[in-house]
Each structure stands twice: as structure tokens, then as C-alpha cells.
């Protein structure tokens, strides 16, 4: 009998994408998967249409259209004072998802250990497992999720090869501060580790500042910085991700990327270059402001309905404790909430290596129009009222 490869049995299907399907089945508001339900900026949509009409319709150079790589160079320099060489250090991928997968496939060997902070974005588990590497989890504790350097140090073994860090963080909403990043940097330098940072929410923050780990002393040559256009320009369907890595690592990353996907969509690469060049800082500030209002609307709605949660510092998720509303576990509760309240969250267990740690939690995404969030808040309040 034909059987799939054993490696596919070592991880499960994405619960985030599964909840999107469940939300559709019940015609519920989808606060599960993190994609915007509001339009992308007109300027970049026009640029994308124009690119198609101008026949930018064939493969771009595998590692990314030169115009996008040079716009990224300028953007990293202007925003973070980071000098990046587009020719030797930037790779454009099909979303940050492919970026993360290409990076770990290019850098990890079977048997390597990779430090992952927990709770974590669910892709990091399968990404590592597909390489035959082992994720080693370091817990961040609610409600503030601080990074404890001693916990990091305690898990390092001779097999440790990398640290995956996501800031602003999905799902906790933490924006890691300089002192915490310095602890990660010091660990990487002392143990000769590579840092892989997922900075896809770099422009969505409400407190503190976004500090790319690569800008810390001694880190540029050992950090791989992943980001992309999906969240910044509200275009998750365009699949434009970016990688900045030292030349010594970029060659390997580009080889993997080339044979996985050849390249990211050419017309959208041009449009993202336009977004980076023409929208820039004022746009990022207004994006964060609009998200702040969405965050406050959802958090107030969740608290009024009986959930326990604190406002995130960045990204667009709220991890909420539903203990006051139900004794069910997170998976059962997520389905009940979707069916009966018409609001779909993601079960908390999807963000933990041991599901039990997330069994009182659900994650809500607030990358939605204010009306959607107000309607969700109202539905949740009614649902909370029914249960009490």
C-alpha cells in the first residue's frame, strides 16, 4: 500500500488554517487566522496592476527583483541604521513562511537543537522537524512574558545550533526590549549560535521600539532577519517575504529557496518596492495607530465578555484566558465559540509543545475592520452573558 513519508507523521496540520475552515463552515467572524479584512493601500495596488500591465509577468531573478532588494537596502538603512548589501545579503521569498523554511533547511543539520520561545508561532515546530532538527522550548510566562536569560542558558548543549526569536511576538504580543535582546545576543556569541529572527510585525507596535537583533553589537554576522510585506502592507495573499543574512549564509539559503519556489511573484515584488519607497515612515505610523484602536476595541470586548487578557505591546493578536467562561478545553471551547457565538479563535494549545499549557487559552486576531471587531465584541458579550 502507498504510504506518505514518515516525516509527515511527525507534525500535525496547521490548527490556524483549520480554524479558518471551521469559521467558514459556521459563517463566523474569523478572528483565527491573522489576515486583514480591510483593503491594502491604493498606491501599492495600483503599482501591482501597473506591473502586470507593463508585463512584469515572468520570473524575477531568483533571489529577488533588483528594485526590491535596493528598496530594502534603503529601508533597512533609514529605519534601523543597518547597512545591507542587496546583491549578497538579501533573498526575496514566497512569504515569511517560505523564508523561515528555506533558512532552517539551509542552516540546520539533522540532530541540531534549536531554541524556540514558548508560546510560539506554530510553523517553527514543523519547520525544524522537517530538517531533522529538534526544537528545544524555553517558556515565557504570562501575563508579561519576560525573557529569562538563565532559562536560555540552561537549555544550551553541544548540539545547540540556533535560536528562533519572533518580535513583535505572535501570539503573546511581546515586543522584546534591548536588555532581553542583549541576553539573546550574548548567548549566541558565547555559544557560536545563529539567530533566526522573525520580524514580520516590525511596524505593528504600540509600546517600545522595534530593535532588529542584527543591529546589536556582534550580531550582524550571525543573524538571519526574516520579514515581509504581508503584515506591513496588508497583502498576505501576495506572498512576498524577505531574508537578510550574511553572505556566508545567503548562498545556502538562496540555493534552497531556488529549488523550492524559483522566486516570489514578480509584479508584487515591484509593487512592494514602490510601497517601501513611497509610503515609508508616515504610513507605518498610521498603520500602528489604526491597529491600536482595533486592539483597544477587541481587548475591551473580551474583558467585558469575561475573558482575562492584557493589551499586547505589538503584533495583532490577543492571547486570552477563558477560564471564567467555560470548563471545556481550548479546542472544544474554540469550536463552541465559533458555532454559538459566531466568532472563531485559535485554540491556545497550538502555540505550546505540551498542549495542556494552552488548554485555558484562545488567540484572537484583530487585523480586522473596526466594525468587524465591534460586532465580534458584541457577539462575545452576548455569549459571555449566556454562560454566567
Of 75 and 170, nearer to ligand GLN (C-beta) is: 170
- Measured between alpha carbons, how far is 291 from 274 in angstroms, rounded to an integer? 22
Of 250 and 338, nearer to ligand GLN (C-beta) is: 338
- Measured between alpha carbons, how far is 264 from 94 in angstroms, rounded to an integer? 5
- Kindly state the smallest distance separating residue 121's Cβ from ligand GLN, in Å: 6
For residue 388, give the C-alpha cell: 454566567
Q: Which of 30, 102, 170, 227 binds ligand GLN (CB under 6 A)?
A: 170
Of 91 and 97, nearer to ligand GLN (C-beta) is: 97
- Kindly state the smallest distance separating residue 15's Cβ from ligand GLN, in Å: 10
Site string for ligand GLN, 98-127 (x = CB under 6 A): -----------------------x------
- Measured between alpha carbons, how far is 147 from 176 in angstroms, rounded to an integer? 8
- Kindly state the smallest distance separating residue 16's Cβ from ligand GLN, in Å: 5
- Cα dihedral across residues 225, 318, 289, 378: positive or negative: positive
33 binds ligand GLN per the rule CB under 6 A: yes
- Kindly state the smallest distance separating residue 270's Cβ from ligand GLN, in Å: 23
- Cα dihedral across residues 66, 68, 71, 76: positive or negative: negative
7 binds ligand GLN per the rule CB under 6 A: no
Q: Which of 7, 10, 17, 218 binds ligand GLN (CB under 6 A)?
A: 17
Number of residues that bind ligand GLN (CB under 6 A): 8
- Measured between alpha carbons, how far is 95 from 264 in angstroms, rounded to an integer? 8
Of 70, 39, 79, which Cα lies nearest the Cα of 280? 79
Q: Which residue's beta carbon is nearest to the bound ligand GLN?
A: 34
Q: How far lies 174's CA from each of 49, 100, 122, 157, 373, in Å?
A: 36, 20, 16, 27, 21
* Residue that has been written with the C-alpha cell 477563558 in this structure: 322
Of 115 and 365, nearer to ligand GLN (C-beta) is: 365
Q: Using the 8-state DSSP alphabet, how is residue 342 labeled?
A: S
For residue 331, give the C-alpha cell: 479546542
- Measured between alpha carbons, how far is 248 from 131 in angstroms, rounded to an integer? 20
- Radius of gyration for the chain, computed over Cα atoms and rounded to the nearest angstrom: 20
- Kindly state the smallest distance separating residue 56's Cβ from ligand GLN, in Å: 25
169 binds ligand GLN per the rule CB under 6 A: no
Q: How far lies 44's CA from each of 70, 283, 367, in Å?
A: 17, 12, 19
- Measured between alpha carbons, how far is 205 from 221 in angstroms, rounded to an integer? 26
97 binds ligand GLN per the rule CB under 6 A: yes
- Kindly state the smallest distance separating residue 24's Cβ from ligand GLN, in Å: 14
Q: Which of 15, 28, 31, 34 binds ligand GLN (CB under 6 A)?
A: 34
Of 31 and 245, nearer to ligand GLN (C-beta) is: 31
Q: Which of 16, 40, 133, 213 binds ligand GLN (CB under 6 A)?
A: 16
- Kindly state the smallest distance separating residue 104's Cβ from ligand GLN, in Å: 16
190 binds ligand GLN per the rule CB under 6 A: no
- Measured between alpha carbons, how far is 1 from 204 in angstroms, rounded to an integer? 49
Of 168 and 384, nearer to ligand GLN (C-beta) is: 168
228 binds ligand GLN per the rule CB under 6 A: no
- Measured between alpha carbons, how far is 202 from 206 in angstroms, rounded to an integer? 11
Residues in touch with ligand GLN (CB under 6 A): 16-17, 33-34, 97, 121, 170, 365
Amino acid at each position: 500500500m502507498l504510504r506518505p513519508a514518515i516525516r509527515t507523521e511527525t507534525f500535525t496540520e496547521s490548527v490556524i488554517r483549520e480554524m479558518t475552515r471551521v469559521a467558514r463552515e459556521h459563517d463566523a467572524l474569523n478572528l483565527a487566522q491573522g489576515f486583514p479584512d480591510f483593503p491594502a493601500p491604493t498606491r501599492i495596488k495600483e503599482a501591482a496592476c501597473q506591473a502586470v500591465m507593463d508585463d512584469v509577468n515572468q520570473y524575477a531573478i531568483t533571489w529577488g527583483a533588483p528594485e526590491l532588494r535596493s528598496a530594502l537596502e534603503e529601508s533597512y538603512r533609514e529605519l534601523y541604521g543597518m547597512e545591507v548589501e542587496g546583491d549578497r545579503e538579501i533573498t526575496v521569498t514566497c512569504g515569511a513562511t517560505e523564508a523561515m523554511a528555506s533558512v532552517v533547511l539551509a542552516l540546520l543539520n539533522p540532530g541540531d537543537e534549536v531554541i524556540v520561545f514558548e508560546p510560539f508561532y506554530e510553523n517553527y515546530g514543523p519547520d525544524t522537524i522537517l530538517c531533522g532538527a529538534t526544537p528545544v522550548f524555553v517558556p515565557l510566562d504570562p501575563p508579561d512574558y519576560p525573557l529569562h536569560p538563565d532559562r536560555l542558558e540552561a537549555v544550551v548543549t553541544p548540539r545547540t545550533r540556533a535560536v528562533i526569536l519572533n518580535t513583535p511576538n505572535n501570539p503573546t504580543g511581546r515586543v522584546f526590549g534591548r536588555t532581553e535582546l542583549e541576553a539573546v545576543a550574548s548567548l549566541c556569541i558565547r555559544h557560536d549560535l545563529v539567530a533566526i529572527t522573525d520580524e514580520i510585525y516590525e511596524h505593528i507596535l504600540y509600546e517600545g521600539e522595534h530593535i532588529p537583533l542584527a543591529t546589536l553589537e556582534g550580531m550582524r554576522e550571525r543573524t538571519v532577519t526574516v520579514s515581509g510585506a504581508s503584515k506591513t502592507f496588508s497583502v498576505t495573499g501576495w506572498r512576498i517575504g524577505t531574508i537578510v543574512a550574511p553572505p556566508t549564509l545567503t548562498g545556502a539559503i538562496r540555493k534552497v529557496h531556488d529549488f523550492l519556489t524559483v522566486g516570489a511573484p514578480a509584479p508584487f515584488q515591484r509593487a512592494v518596492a514602490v510601497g517601501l519607497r513611497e509610503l515609508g515612515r508616515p504610513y507605518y505610523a498610521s498603520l500602528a495607530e489604526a491597529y491600536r484602536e482595533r486592539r483597544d476595541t477587541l481587548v475591551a470586548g473580551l474583558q467585558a465578555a469575561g475573558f482575562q487578557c492584557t493589551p499586547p505591546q505589538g503584533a495583532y493578536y490577543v492571547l486570552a484566558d477563558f477560564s471564567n467562561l467555560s470548563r471545556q478545553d481550548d479546542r472544544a471551547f474554540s469550536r463552541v465559540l465559533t458555532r454559538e457565538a459566531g466568532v472563531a479563535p485559535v485554540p491556545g494549545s497550538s502555540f505550546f509543545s505540551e498542549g495542556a499549557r494552552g488548554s485555558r487559552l484562545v488567540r484572537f486576531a484583530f487585523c480586522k475592520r473596526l466594525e468587524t471587531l465591534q460586532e465580534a465584541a458584541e457577539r462575545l458579550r452576548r455569549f459571555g452573558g449566556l454562560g454566567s
